Structure 1
Amino acid sequence: MAATAAGTAYAIDVITIQRLFYKQTIHPGIGIIFLITSQILGYGMAGIMRRFLVWPAAMIWPANLVNCALFRTLHNDKDNEDDNERSHWRTSRLKFFFLAFLFHFLWYWFPGYIFPVLSAFSWICMIKPDNILLSQLTGIYGLGIGSIELDWNAWVAFLRSPIIVPFWAQVNIFVGFVVLAWIIAPAAYYSNLWNSKVLPIVSVRVFNEDGHFYNISAVLNSHLRLNETAYKLYGELRMTPMFAFSYGISFAAITAVIIHTILYQGKTIIKQFRSSLKDNTGDIHAKLMSHYKEAPKWWYTVLFVVAFILAAIVCHFGELMPWYYLFLAVAIAFFFLLPTGIVQAVTNQAIGLNVITEFTIGVARPGDPLANVTFKTYGYITQYQALLLVSDLKLGHYMKIPPRAMFITQLTGTIIAGIINFLTANYLMNTIPNICTQENLHWTCPNANTFFSASIIWGAIGPIKMFGKGATYSYLLYGFLIGGVLPILGWILMKTFPKIEWLKYIHFPIMLSATAMMPPAPPGNYPSWLLVGFIFNFILARYARSWWKRYAYVFSRDPTVELPTDEPRQLSPDK
């Protein structure tokens, strides 16, 4: 229940931008129901997927193995100690857990309250703070060259724990980061591509052709629909090079994941999918779980039907979008649910539907930003929440938790968290002046600002005007083609030169998807995150292997116990 309620509901960003940026106040009842239905609609679909994604042994869900290992360590630490390890490292895992807990708790006060500059700073920028070029290149919110972060919250805000990510994956992320942030973005900016020098070098905000913030109110009518005449008079929308290229990379990541999965895991997925259709009893976990009563299918069916009806009512009476578009949003989520679920269960590669849903509704209903973000929420998050419940059901499968208890606690936690999410968001918006604006540097809301910018790009303006033929950013659509070609090239190289070991570690989906998080992820996040990963997963893993095996995951999981982190469990950045 706690894990389900830990993250911020995706729909909060819709409510936030509607109130703060579009100046519309949503009715509390509409807002709460919208938030809850967007979170539980996918739970209804999860029931159908249990036979394919939970019960078969072939569906591993690797991310759950880390949690299982931690739980077993904490609960069986003394009973299962290896004698050789105990003689070499005398501190038990449980004792180390509490020592790490104390360390993280005490350290958090320094970047959090006592000395906030430790959270993120650029020592190079401090040499000459009034130098714009130096700020652009080295600032934490610039390109991050030489920037340093000493705050765990900052490290895991976008990329999650650097200790858990394998070193080969971190190398891929490092290559993608350097190519985009330190080569492509500055080259585009300083060559004045798209007249970008009138804009900041990195920002999630959108601008007009003169470099001022884009006044979306100037091109929308009273119903928040695009006024074509006003749009032509006011001018086109502009993005910073980093923001624009992140969209192109997002396009590439979609096709790269599909092609990479077909080439590298295609045969394995087909084999495991076939076994999942008939192998439901051979797994020892399935045999042990057979002693518990399964949550009946009608529970999931009733939940789905009720959530869908309430969602349709909210869309209609809340004037979020025409209710019949909900059928299309749910259809997209359901269509991709099984293939993306198999990929995630086998390879731990998550495929998000945010770009596809934005693009679809942007073409079908251009000029309507609220309909765009609402459709995206129901399409993307329905699939995401379904896989989230499936993953947690698999965790219960491993840990022998009764399925009915899992279903009830997950649903209860989601509903309680949804209400608290809404009340908390409204409290913050009511009490904090200029929240999520440039005037308040402490409450910048990068996700909400990115969400708002996406609503303008995909909703108000629409993908045809932004990326269609003859548009300023039309060439970014080649990202789809590039993303499809790159894994093929990597696969050909691996097959042509099988003796070159490192070729098999080239992983373009990871390289692209992690890089596409900039923005809202500040480029300054990446160097420190990569440094921590290098220390733990290369130096310690290679030269202190027994210590790393014994304590690394415990140290990584420890900060999430006492710190108020919001580790958003999203499959991909909101683009």
Structure 2
Amino acid sequence: MATEQKQEYLAEKEYVDEKHDIERSSVVLDEDENSPIPEVAAIVSNRDDPSMPTMTVRVWTLGIFFTVVLSFLNQFFWFRTNPLTIGILVAQLLAYPLGVLMAKILPSGRLNPGPFNIKEHVLITLCANCAGGTAYAVDIIVIQKVFYKQDFGFLANFLLILTTQMLGYGMAGVLRRYLVYPAAMIWPANLVQVALFNTLHKDEDLAPGQWTRYKFFVVAAIGMFVYHWIPNFLFGALGTFAWICWIKPDNHVLAQITGSNGLGFGTMIFDWNVLVSFLTSPLIVPWWAQVNIAVGFFALTWVLVPICYYSNVWEAKHFPIFSSKLFKQDGDTYNVTAITTDHMLDEAKYEAYGPLRLSVFFALTYGIGFAGLASMVTHTWLYHRHKLVAQWRQSREHSEDIHHKLMQAYPEVPDWWYFIVFIVMTVVAVITCEVWDYKLPWWGVLLAIFLAAFFSLPVGLIQAVTNQQPGLNIITEYVIGYALPGRPIANVTFKTLGYISMGQALTFVGDLKLGHYMKVPPRAMFWTQCVGTVIAGVINLVTANWLLATQDKICTDDNKDFSCPSAGTFYSASVIWGVISPNKMFGPTSIYNPINYFFLIGFFLPIPFYYLKKRFPNTWIENIHIPVLLAATGMMPPAKPFNYPMWVAVGFIFQYYIRRRYASWHMRFTYVMSAAFDSGSAFSILVCFFIFGMRGVEIKWWGNNVPKALCPLDAAPTIPIGQL
């Protein structure tokens, strides 16, 4: 019987493989077939032209150009006191007219194979997307040079950036089966990109008097560009309009609860850039996910934090109600150099100086981070285990939807390409940490990579559906802090290898999904992303070294233009988890020890909701998503509480009210509007900066100084500094 089953299995496998190969070469499609997901069906085309040229000179020229420009500008702005990120939409918009221009002026032939097409545009955008942010490992280099007075040289720094940026790409080969091919993995942020590509390249069938997406985009972008000058330059107080605090500015409690540097209750935002700076666009996040985020935010920020603070839990009143800074027990600033020798913890000095203290909000966000991470494991097992097993079995047996069928026309990237990238980057990471004095042994590198690989799938499932990505920064700091206490550089290196490797893997997978929607050959996407990542890493490093060498007192409060707020937070984390270590911060003898119970809370919390969903199917209970709810405040800090309420309010208007009341308009224009608002505000910031910011020109009046003038107590502790 077993032999017959085995022969039957082999015969079936041979048939499936043969069928798979046939489908790759010739796919018979139903012209009326479309995605089962309404949002995808409304935005993504169910047609393809495999004859479109892709890997052209235009792609490489414009892709490398925008990669260099964006990586330089974003790294430059990252150091500034008020950081600015130039999003990929800027490159996406500018690449279109430049591509069309190149098609017109270049001589016809191999260098110019016909009109500039949408697939070339996608590849240029994906290449530039590698420079859409900054390499996270630059933070390590900055705190080494500025705070720890270390410099391992250009080669060591480049290898660290290269490995942390590309290691995750090797994991994408496995993840694509679960996060790219299935129709249910929609990646909402990609729909904005698809809408913009279609707006620029496609002719639409319109009813008389109906606007095209392109016209709507242009009008909305120009409108946002003009409007954004008001909160960005002319009337800065509109960015964070903390009007309640103005009623009685000398009331300390009112300031702490309503101020923009406090809990932000009632604070209004009229600046689109402020609204989306940490939480992406509320126009593209599903309403059910926004409700989970709102509940998580409300429970922590406006319930748990005030209760703990005004009950003086962990001596909270000695510190501001919201802050990511480090404090002594009496509320004074914590002097890290007083407890270290050669940038390592000196036990005798530490005992004499005293323990580190955190604001109650900062401490609780670590606890929520613990709970969110544990809940992902339970949630993934309860809700997705059957789907994952089925997808594993079916990944080579059938196409998920029309888009997956259309992609069979192109050769897939072989698994061994991803495997080579993964192995080479792992070996280089080990060599880098062993040759230079990062104080992270080989087993630490492998452990970080294991954590990234373990969490990539559950985090990816959440991001692919909700557009939210819970991070691994806390758990990686926690693990290596116990394994190698007192080593700050080893701690942040481990964190970067674990946290960013996962992030880069999901970035790569998300881009693969965009290429999947746009029917771009997978091998072309692979090479453009790899080349773009290497170029962006080099430019990031060169720009950082240039600023560190030329700016006096950079990354300190003495440099008002380049105080590096992100590097300051990164340094604080290296002290908490590296210098002092989690055992002293959260161990049995620490007042913050109860934070560890959040691991158990997070692990068990999804279970009752899972069984409630089974008991009461097709009710609102199905929309409860514990990992998203717990990850809601994962961006605080640097995000502040005032970012959330208006974000949810705008989401309610578009993702709930308009989506239900004006469904056809929503399907047609909401994602286009999101892209237009992002583009218009980005152009406004750029123009304002280059015309006025670089010259130090500013309008000095009451409207640009309201937060300091009318709400001075929102960041002040309840008990004055020095009073125990």
In the superposition, the TM-score normalised over structure 2's length comes to: 0.71
Match of residue 317 from structure 2? 197
The 3 A distance-change label for structure 1 pair 431 and 540 is farther
Which whole-Å CA distance do the structure 2 matches of 1:266 and 1:50 have between them? 17
Are residues 1:47 and 2:173 paired?
Answer: yes
1:221 to 338, 341, 347: 341
Moved more, 138-147 or 327-336: 327-336
1:20 to 141, 146, 162: 146
Match of residue 573 from structure 1? none
Are residues 1:552 and 2:670 paired?
Answer: yes
Amino-acid identity (%): 47
Match of residue 482 from structure 1? 601
Which of 1 and 2 has greater Rg? Answer: 2
Are residues 1:98 and 2:224 paired?
Answer: no
1:206 to 318, 326, 346: 326
The 3 A distance-change label for structure 1 pair 497 and 76 is same
Which whole-Å CA distance do the structure 1 matches of 2:147 and 2:335 have between them? 10
Q: What are the within-5 Å matches in structure 2 for residues 62-461 of structure 1?
A: 62-63=187-188, 66-67=191-192, 69-71=194-196, 73-75=198-200, 77-81=202-206, 83=207, 90-222=210-342, 224-276=343-395, 278-279=396-397, 284-324=402-442, 325-338=444-457, 340-341=459-460, 344-345=463-464, 350-430=469-549, 436-438=555-557, 445-461=564-580
Contact 1:176 1:511 (C-alpha < 8 Å) held by counterparts:
yes
Q: Which runs of 5+ in 1 are unaligned?
A: 566-575
Are residues 1:561 and 2:687 paired?
Answer: no
Which whole-Å CA distance do the structure 2 matches of 1:59 and 1:254 have between them? 23
Which whole-Å CA distance do the structure 1 matches of 2:272 and 2:560 have between them? 20
Which whole-Å CA distance do the structure 2 matches of 1:287 and 1:494 have between them? 34
Q: 1:290-319, CA deviations, whole angstroms, 9 ceiling, x for partnerless residues?
A: 443444455444433443343334323442
CA-CA distance at 1:427 after TM superposition = 4.3
Match of residue 631 from structure 2? 513
CA-CA distance at 1:548 after TM superposition = 2.2
- For these two proteins, the number of residue pairs brought into alignment is 556
The 3 A distance-change label for structure 1 pair 527 and 285 is closer
Letter in 2 for 1:74: T
Letter in 2 for 1:471: S
Match of residue 64 from structure 2? none
Contact 2:515 2:521 (C-alpha < 8 Å) held by counterparts:
yes
Contact 1:61 1:344 (C-alpha < 8 Å) held by counterparts:
no
Letter in 2 for 1:407: F
| 1:105 match: secondary structure | helix
Contact 1:358 1:373 (C-alpha < 8 Å) held by counterparts:
yes
Contact 2:137 2:161 (C-alpha < 8 Å) held by counterparts:
yes
In angstroms, what is the RMSD of aligned CA positions? Answer: 2.8
Which whole-Å CA distance do the structure 1 matches of 2:400 and 2:252 have between them? 64
Which whole-Å CA distance do the structure 2 matches of 1:433 and 1:129 have between them? 36
Are residues 1:36 and 2:162 paired?
Answer: yes
Match of residue 572 from structure 1? none
Q: 1:346-389, CA deviations, whole angstroms, 9 ceiling, x for partnerless residues?
A: 67664533233222211110111110010111122122212221
The 3 A distance-change label for structure 1 pair 205 and 433 is farther
Q: 1:224-246, CA deviations, whole angstroms, 9 ceiling, x for partnerless residues?
A: 22111111111111110000000
Match of residue 526 from structure 1? 644
Contact 2:370 2:475 (C-alpha < 8 Å) held by counterparts:
no
CA-CA distance at 1:321 after TM superposition = 2.9
The 3 A distance-change label for structure 1 pair 258 and 97 is same
Which whole-Å CA distance do the structure 1 matches of 2:400 and 2:679 have between them? 36
Contact 1:326 1:375 (C-alpha < 8 Å) held by counterparts:
yes
The 3 A distance-change label for structure 1 pair 437 and 532 is farther
Q: Which runs of 5+ in 2 are unaligned?
A: 1-126, 684-724
Which whole-Å CA distance do the structure 2 matches of 1:315 and 1:59 have between them? 40
Contact 1:97 1:558 (C-alpha < 8 Å) held by counterparts:
yes
The 3 A distance-change label for structure 1 pair 102 and 257 is same
Contact 2:183 2:401 (C-alpha < 8 Å) held by counterparts:
no
1:470 to 583, 586, 589: 589
CA-CA distance at 1:134 after TM superposition = 3.0
The 3 A distance-change label for structure 1 pair 45 and 69 is closer
CA-CA distance at 1:199 after TM superposition = 0.8
Which whole-Å CA distance do the structure 1 matches of 2:401 and 2:292 have between them? 35
Moved more, 199-208 or 69-78: 69-78
Contact 1:359 1:463 (C-alpha < 8 Å) held by counterparts:
yes
Q: 1:488-520, CA deviations, whole angstroms, 9 ceiling, x for partnerless residues?
A: 222333344447x22222222111101233222
Which whole-Å CA distance do the structure 2 matches of 1:492 and 1:59 have between them? 23
| 2:629 match: secondary structure | helix
| 1:5 match: secondary structure | coil
| 2:605 match: secondary structure | helix
Which whole-Å CA distance do the structure 1 matches of 2:266 and 2:470 have between them? 32
Moved more, 242-251 or 321-330: 321-330
Letter in 1 for 2:508: L
